[in-house]
Structure 1
Amino acid sequence: MRRIAVFLLAIGMLWTVPVQAAELENAVGALAAKSFKAKIVAIRRLATIGDVRAVPVLEALISRRLFVLKSDDSVVIAAKKGGVYIVKNPITLAEIGEAAKKDIKKIRVNNRLRGIIRGALGGLTLLGPDPLKRRR
């Protein structure tokens, strides 16, 4: 009986990982919305999902490094290097290429959003696996 329970638990865990990844991708994509209300909903979804991969996304958003690629409306983290921006996938942090300033649009944040982001980051870092971040 115990083996069956362990097996069912393992199957259930395998099922939740892809669902959680899809939710995370959807919430990150929703940050590209023009409406600040829609961005608030997306930030709260990221906090509710509880995936620590959302931390770099929110840190990039609050530090003005989160952009939308104009070519396909995907959300990316970008850092200026010379005359171009180095573009990374916001979830995996894998470098996906370079973009000119005209090819990306910065995701705007206001003061209300900054407060909500800080709260979400606080909750995510407290739940995260890194003990040094939990102590800060």
Structure 2
Amino acid sequence: MTDTAAVVAQLRVLEQLTRTENRIARLRTVQARTDETRRELTDNARRAEGRLARTLHGTRGVRGALTVGELPVGGHDDLSVPDAARAVRELDAPEDGQAVLRYEERRKNRAGVLTAARTRHAEVARETVAH
């Protein structure tokens, strides 16, 4: 199993668990006996929905399925290779570099952008681990 496949599999498990958490919170909200408990369970369900949205977005990013509008580099498709590479070098989160890398691999496949995305992803990952 490739690293990407393993990450996608883990994200799918997380997605299923979060969906279950949301369903349980919603069911328990209906069964709640006090307003305070109802509010707490509603908040739990809302937080689970937010985590689910982030998980789905992460899964799509790892798989290269984000649309150009979802990329962390605005107007990515319209940028020249030097401009896109420069923008990629300014990314701060490893998942942002990964998202651009997967998008570029599946769509434009521009060598200069791919190299910049791979390099920046590795740099940011090292910085993240070091802290």
> TM-score category by the smaller chain?
0.3 to 0.5
The structure with the greater share of residues assigned to strand is: 1
Structure number with bigger Rg: 2
The structure with the greater share of residues assigned to helix is: 2
TM-score (norm 2): 0.36
TM-score (norm 1): 0.35
